[in-house]
Amino acid sequence: MGRRKVKLQLIENESSRKITYTKRVRGVVRKTQELSVLCGVDACAVIYGPYNQAPVVWPSCEAEARRIITNFKRKPEIDQCQRQFDQDAFLKERVAKAQEKLLRLQRRNREIEMENIITDIMTGKIKPEDVKHTDLGDLLWVLDDKLQGVEHRLSVVNALPPMVANENAGPSNLDC
């Protein structure tokens, strides 16, 4: 059976919630064990829930779990809090990443828009004087970017040995 996206919200049906809780606890304990074994790190899971009288603890040996927790508590507070992630910090990071992605997409859309204007000017669909003055700065930015790309390609082709440059030239010979 394939996995499907799960809405992270309270499961209303009590029996379904209990079944999901039991499965998820087993999964968290299994993942904690795998992390500990595969990466050779001390890991401990303590899960309190409404369906069990006692918490679920891994490793099941109480002395080992206490040792891991004690070692953690002995560390300076700055080390303990260094990787803690609360809901607020998580959401702020997600918002910041989404804003960065939005800015990249807006920049790319603007670049495509300016490329379309350049194409329209070159094909004669619009006259250069018909371009809005607000677009001129972005138009120059795109043209400079394209010019730098062409100059880079020329420098790469000129740096190649003559035989290799002719082989990479393809069907049209650059020496014509």
Report whether pLDDT(167) > 60: no
Structure-token pair, residue 9: 């919200």
- Give 27-76 pLDDT, tens digit per residue: 999 999 999 999 998 899 989 888 888 888 888 888 888 898 898 888 88
Taking the domains of the chain in order of start, what are their residue ranges?
14-78, 87-168
Specify the CATH number for 14-78; select among 3.40.1810.10, 3.40.50.720, 3.40.50.150, 1.10.3720.10: 3.40.1810.10
Residue-level pLDDT at 52: 81
C-alpha distances in angstroms, 175 versus 109, 112, 149, 165, 170? 37, 32, 21, 10, 12
CA pair distance 34, 20, nearest whole angstrom: 21
Residue-level pLDDT at 32: 93
- Estimate the crossing angle of helix 87-123 against helix 136-159, to 10 degrees: 80
Position of tokens 């809901």? 87
| pLDDT band, residue 174 (cuts 50/70/90) | very low
What residues contact 121, with CB distance under 8 A and at least 6 apart? 127, 128, 131
CA pair distance 128, 118, nearest whole angstrom: 9
Residue-level pLDDT at 175: 47
Residue-level pLDDT at 171: 54
Highest mean pLDDT among 5-9, 83-87, 169-173: 5-9
Burial class, 117, CB count within 10 angstroms (exposed 0-12 / middle 13-18 / buried 19+)? buried
Length of the chain as a residue count? 176
| pLDDT band, residue 13 (cuts 50/70/90) | very high
CA pair distance 90, 86, nearest whole angstrom: 6
- 32 compared with 131, residue with greater pLDDT: 32
- 81 compared with 75, residue with greater pLDDT: 75
| Average confidence (pLDDT) over 143-171 | 77
C-alpha distances in angstroms, 147 versus 94, 142, 152, 153, 173? 36, 8, 9, 10, 22
Residue-level pLDDT at 91: 87
Q: Which residues pair with 58 in a beta bridge?
A: 45
CA pair distance 169, 176, nearest whole angstrom: 11
C-alpha distances in angstroms, 150 versus 16, 95, 155? 61, 36, 9
